[in-house]
Amino acid sequence: MRQKQGQPLQGKEKHQNVGVFEDYEEGLVSFYDVEARFHISSFTDRPQSVQVGNCSSTTLTLSTGAPQGCVLSPLLYSLYTYDCTATSSSNIIVKFADDTVVVGLFSDNDERAYLEEIKHLENWCQENNLLLNVSKTKELIVDCSKKQERHYQPVRISGTTVERVDSFRYLGVYISQDLSWSRHTSSLAKKARQRLYHLRRLRDFRLPSKVLRNFYTCTIESILTGNITVWFGNSTKQDRQALQRVVRSAERITHSELPDLQTIYYKRCQTKARKIVKDPTHPNNRLFSLLSPLVLSHLNTVIMLPPLGSPFYPFSSTPPSTIMSILPRLGK
């Protein structure tokens, strides 16, 4: 969670981070009211039916909402909600398609700016013909203070109190109020172990090891490594071992060596770092600063690193000697 200036929202004794994860009941319900009526034919008098085998349902004509799965829907929705921005410097609004997160920073237990931001968002949705799905909207509070238990005012939307939760699954990742990743890693391990059954069945059919490895990569490794650059660096040793046990089980089933999660994590971080450094338009590009020219005798390159101790980039607290082995040829 970051402020507009790109500085971390530090959770200290007098500061608490809080976020509300909004969900819209139906996006673009009245898109026809928007002044820019491009692609209007895709959204009016749209025939829809369901086909199962040789059976088809009756056709229903719709003129509201955005088609589910349409490649234009996320783009048009992003354009539609472009001017929905935060009104206070202590708040930010993060949007991804129809998922919206309001992040607020409390100072001295002052919640007014945060609560006013929620009210502003509710009013904006009403003015722009959008409905908030309050039943799917959750509030998550990150309080790093250990001196005393604080009580926070409940958030209300359309007269309904928003449920406060200990963790929330956002874009495939469980975010917990204690900023640990145990909830997320346990979910990954459980899901991956379930798919080991199918891998064993394929082995019983005497399929080649190459086919088994491909199945593992597509159905199991993809689960274990989803968004790995976000959570793996700050996960505990116990959590990593639980995930690695799944990999070892797959190795015994496939009778072949599989890449460990630590190696995959390093490679993914390399790729992410290269993209950020090469893209001057990336929001976090300016967070990377030049090290004092660290040039190896066999590598003519300069390493870019974010500010030391940044919690969002695991390499920022890594010794330079280790960094050079992790990030070879960053500018390649």
How much is the pTM? 0.73
Kindly report, residue by residue over 20-56, the tens digit of the pLDDT: 666 655 544 444 455 456 566 667 788 888 889 899 9
Count of CB atoms within 10 A of residue 243's CB? Answer: 21
* pLDDT tens sequence across 266-297: 999 888 888 888 898 988 888 776 555 544 34
User: What are the backbone dihedrals phi and psi of residue 139, each rounded to the nearest 5 degrees, phi first?
Assistant: -120, 135
Tokens of 116: 């006013």
What residue ranges of the chain have pLDDT lower than 70?
A: 1-42, 147-148, 289-332
* CA proximity to 61, closest of 51, 46, 50, 49: 46
Other C-beta atoms lying within 10 Å of the C-beta of residue 284: 15
Neighbours of 32 (CB within 10 A): 13
Separation CA 253–CA 201 (nearest Å): 10
Contact 285, 279 (CB under 8 A): yes
CA distance 43 to 37: 10
CATH topology of domain 15-30+76-176: Alpha-Beta Plaits (3.30.70)
Q: What does the pLDDT read at residue 32?
A: 47
Alpha helices in the chain (DSSP H): 72-80, 112-127, 182-204, 209-216, 222-224, 228-231, 237-254, 261-278, 320-326
> CA dist 24 to 45, 63, 125, Å?
23, 18, 9
d(C-alpha 145, C-alpha 108), whole Å: 11
58 DSSP 8-state letter = P
Q: Are 57 and 51 in contact (CB under 8 A)?
A: yes
**Ranges of each domain in the chain:** 15-30+76-176, 182-259, 265-326
